[in-house]
């Protein structure tokens, strides 16, 4: 399992930016109050077509910025950062959305929690919305009978409480991973591009014997969907709808073991499809419902191509 550390932790933080320099600068500056001195901050500029890279380096000279030739999706951007981080053999790697702002001592609290729970290889904080005190994430749960995930307590006011302990998954918005686990299971699955790559990683970690840990004493605020949706909301835009539908199917087919796989597969059509169809229809975002159905079709085509269906 995870080894305890006898000296100060070596941390690497990976942030992926695409055309949102202001968010990234605020995110990086918040890391200075995280409580960990030895923190190598790696920013992957994922093919921005504005002046993001220049602004980030000018305003945050402590970062190591690496440019991708094109926007290849979040998973590939995060993997590029992970590979650079591994060169340093860190004790921990934090994957942090560029529209997230960490609270005081957040990093050290996540690390100390992982040290208290050697059975866990990943940890995540309580995440509130950026501009109010409602909960966005307080530990992820996954229904292994019907194959859907949820954020318990989402959109409810934060009561300042919470129990530290294992959960089914941690969101990639702020995901602390032990270096031992990275060496064991490697990078994010790039088939997922964006959305559910974090859940898939937690499932793969669980299969390797590592639990995921929710740490409510660590706090992050999140602007929510700044890159892929409507900032500050959970609106199902066409891009978000497509990847939600496609990637939850891939998650079931790739990572849910038999015999649960069959019931989870059915759950995508009996539970998730009606739920998201109704939600998207009520939100009335042009093209989102078509995108959701295209995502389902894309997931099914992937299954056939891989001999999964």
Residue 116: give its domain's CATH number. 3.90.550.60
Q: Judge if 184 and 110 occupy the same domain.
A: yes
Provide the pLDDT for residue 136. 96
By percentage, how much of the chain surpasses pLDDT 90?
84
Provide the pLDDT for residue 5. 42
Q: Judge if 300 and 153 occupy the same domain.
A: no
Q: Judge if 196 and 48 occupy the same domain.
A: yes
DSSP E strand boundaries for the chain: 11-17, 39-45, 64-67, 92-97, 100-102, 120-129, 135-137, 141-143, 148-150, 165-167, 174-178, 211-222
Provide the pLDDT for residue 305. 85
Provide the pLDDT for residue 303. 86
CA 88 to chain centre: 22
Q: Judge if 246 and 218 occupy the same domain.
A: no
Mean pLDDT in residue range 243-267:
92
Q: Judge if 171 and 62 occupy the same domain.
A: yes
Q: How confident is the model at residue 7 (pLDDT cuts 50, 70, 90)?
A: low
Q: How confident is the model at residue 131 (pLDDT cuts 50, 70, 90)?
A: very high
The DSSP call for residue 133 is S
49, 118 Cβ separation under 8 angstroms: no
Comparing 5 with 151, which gets the higher pLDDT? 151
Q: How much is the pTM?
A: 0.92
Q: Judge if 212 and 259 occupy the same domain.
A: no
List phi, psi (to 5°) of 264.
Answer: -65, -35
Q: Terminal CA-to-CA distance of the chain, rounded, Å?
A: 35
Instruction: Give Cα separations from 226 to 24, 82, 192, 210 (angstroms).
Output: 11, 22, 19, 31
The pLDDT tens digits for 82-111 are 999 999 999 999 999 999 999 999 999 999
Q: Judge if 295 and 153 occupy the same domain.
A: no
Has residue 272 been placed in a domain? yes
Has residue 244 been placed in a domain? yes
Q: Number of structural domains, the chain?
A: 2
Q: Judge if 169 and 274 occupy the same domain.
A: no
218, 110 Cβ separation under 8 angstroms: yes
By percentage, how much of the chain surpasses pLDDT 70?
94
Range of the domain at 274: 238-305
Mean pLDDT in residue range 155-182:
95
Provide the pLDDT for residue 111. 97
């Amino acid at each position: 399992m995870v080894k305890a550390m006898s000296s100060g932790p070596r941390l690497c933080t990976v942030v992926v930016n695409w055309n949102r320099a202001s968010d990234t600068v605020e995110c990086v500056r918040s890391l200075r109050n995280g409580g960990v001195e030895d923190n190598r901050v790696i920013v992957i500029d994922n093919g921005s077509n504005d002046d993001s890279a220049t602004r980030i380096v000018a305003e945050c000279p402590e970062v190591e910025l690496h440019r991708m030739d094109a926007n290849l999706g979040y998973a590939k951007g995060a993997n590029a950062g992970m590979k650079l981080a591994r060169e340093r053999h860190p004790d921990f790697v934090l994957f942090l959305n560029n529209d997230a702002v960490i609270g005081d001592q957040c990093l050290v609290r996540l690390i100390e929690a992982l040290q208290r729970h050697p059975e866990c290889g990943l940890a995540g904080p309580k995440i509130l919305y950026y501009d109010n005190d409602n909960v966005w994430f307080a530990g992820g749960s996954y229904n292994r009978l019907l194959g859907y995930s949820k954020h318990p307590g989402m959109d409810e006011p934060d009561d300042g409480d919470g129990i530290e302990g294992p959960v089914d998954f941690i969101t990639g918005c702020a995901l602390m991973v032990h270096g031992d686990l990275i060496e064991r299971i490697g990078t994010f699955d790039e088939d997922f591009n964006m959305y559910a790559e974090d859940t898939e990683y937690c499932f793969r970690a669980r299969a390797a014997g590592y639990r995921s840990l929710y740490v409510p004493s660590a706090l992050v605020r999140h602007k929510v969907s700044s890159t892929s949706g409507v900032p500050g909301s959970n609106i199902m835009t066409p891009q978000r709808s497509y990847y939600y539908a496609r990637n939850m199917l891939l998650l079931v087919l790739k990572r849910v073991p038999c015999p649960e796989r069959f019931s989870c597969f059915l759950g995508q059509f009996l539970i998730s499809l009606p739920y998201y169809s109704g939600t998207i229809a009520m939100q009335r975002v042009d093209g989102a419902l078509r995108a959701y159905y295209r995502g389902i079709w894309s997931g099914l085509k992937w299954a056939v191509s891989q001999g999964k269906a």
